Amino acid sequence: MSIYLDNGATSYPKAPGVGEAMLDYVNNVGANVNRSTYATASTAAMILLDTREQLCRLFNFDDPTHVIFTPGMTAGLNMLLKGYLKAGDHVIVSSMEHNAMMRPLIQLEKEGVEFSRIPADRDGIARAEDILPLIRPNTKLVAVMHASNVCGSLLPVKEIGAICRERNIPFILDAAQTAGHYPIDFKELGLSALCAPGHKGLLGPQGIGVMLMDHEFAKSVEPLIAGGTGSASDSEELPPYMPDRFESGTMNIPGVYGLNAALTYILEKGVDHFRAHEEKLTQRFLDGLKDIPVRLAGTEDMAKRVGVIAVDFTGHDNAEAAFALEQMGILTRCGLHCAPSAHKTLGTFPQGVVRFSLGYASTEADVDGALEAIRTIAR
């Protein structure tokens, strides 16, 4: 029996009904969407619309036509950054970003886009006011993660959103580690766009992501991918309307069916339910770590974090510790988690940490089992 604590990489198990919904589509529906009008094509189209509406309810967003399905979180961020930024533009990110944000920006830097990082402290905590000295006349975007995939710290996105709104700077959110785990209100945060993967806290399959864009911002983003949409087929231009403008080519329809089943489950339980469960387990984990000679990288303040727990086995090799954990059935992720800048901020570069990431199906027994194993290795 193993204890799965790698939900930051991908959630497991998936929500009840995800596999069945995907199988139902493949075996019993099978039709493409937006191309034909027969019954099964309409059935699939209705599931797509229903899923967009579910996402509107989840993120308090108004318009299902501005909910775009993407091949994943990374694809969504690339679409936004590369479709919006131009030579001479300046972007503000944080020092905690994942490479899904940084690698497209490094590519764009070669084309004349500049960026600055809001510095976070050694616990991965950033202060919203530290954005102020970074703002320049050519600052065209603020793009940050909601929670760190390394140590779980939450960025002060409400305050950052308020600063952006006052100055009319578009604000986009990487919700990879919070969607489904932590409440997100698109309107309250004053977001211009949000990206999330289907396969982490949204409890759906891999290969499907979502991108929500407000009306104004969507007009200023050039689609990265162009092709057939099944609409406006008399023209070789992309249609101007949404969501078609950003959904060229046949999409991952089995993925949408799986995501639909997962969202049904999440909306029925409510995100607050998942947050409360993870809060309780994270607190138990952090309390348990206190008498073990390892370093917790990241804050102990539960109000400022999610259930992604970074442990540095000081005096031991973290990769060996992760291997020893695996031998005891505890599944984690060691290394640098595609986030070198975050590890430099936390003082865990280049040794990395062992990351324990909780999910909706994690239990107190899982936490206790992990703590026991950590104690054995650290001894």
Ligand X SMILES: Cc1ncc(COP(=O)(O)O)c(C=O)c1O
Question: Closest distance between ligand X and the C-beta of residue 16, in Å?
Answer: 22
Report the chain's terminal Cα–Cα distance, integer Å.
24
Nearer of residues 149 and 264 to ligand X, judged by Cβ: 149
Q: Looking at the chain, list the stretches that DSSP marks H as alpha helix, in order from N- to C-terminal side.
A: 18-24, 39-59, 73-84, 99-109, 157-167, 215-219, 253-269, 271-289, 318-327, 340-346, 364-378
Question: Closest distance between ligand X and the C-beta of residue 320, in Å?
Answer: 23
Question: Closest distance between ligand X and the C-beta of residue 378, in Å?
Answer: 26
Question: Closest distance between ligand X and the C-beta of residue 177, in Å?
Answer: 5
Nearer of residues 151 and 324 to ligand X, judged by Cβ: 151
Element (H, E) at 94: strand 90-94
Q: Which residues contact 258 (CB under 8 A, 6 or more apart)?
A: 14, 18, 19, 21, 22, 198, 204, 205, 208
Nearer of residues 74 and 260 to ligand X, judged by Cβ: 74
Question: Closest distance between ligand X and the C-beta of residue 85, in Å?
Answer: 18
Residues that bind ligand X (CB under 6 A): 72-74, 98, 100, 145, 149, 174, 176-177, 197
Q: Which residues contact 31 (CB under 8 A, 6 or more apart)?
A: 38, 40, 41, 43, 44
Nearer of residues 54 and 94 to ligand X, judged by Cβ: 94
Nearer of residues 197 and 255 to ligand X, judged by Cβ: 197
Nearer of residues 95 and 149 to ligand X, judged by Cβ: 149
**Spatial separation of the C-alpha atoms in residues 183 and 326, rounded to whole Å:** 32
Q: Which residue has the tokens 């996402």?
A: 55
Question: Closest distance between ligand X and the C-beta of residue 154, in Å?
Answer: 12
User: Residue 135: exposed, middle, or buried by beta-carbon count in 10 A (0-12, 13-18, 19+)?
Assistant: middle
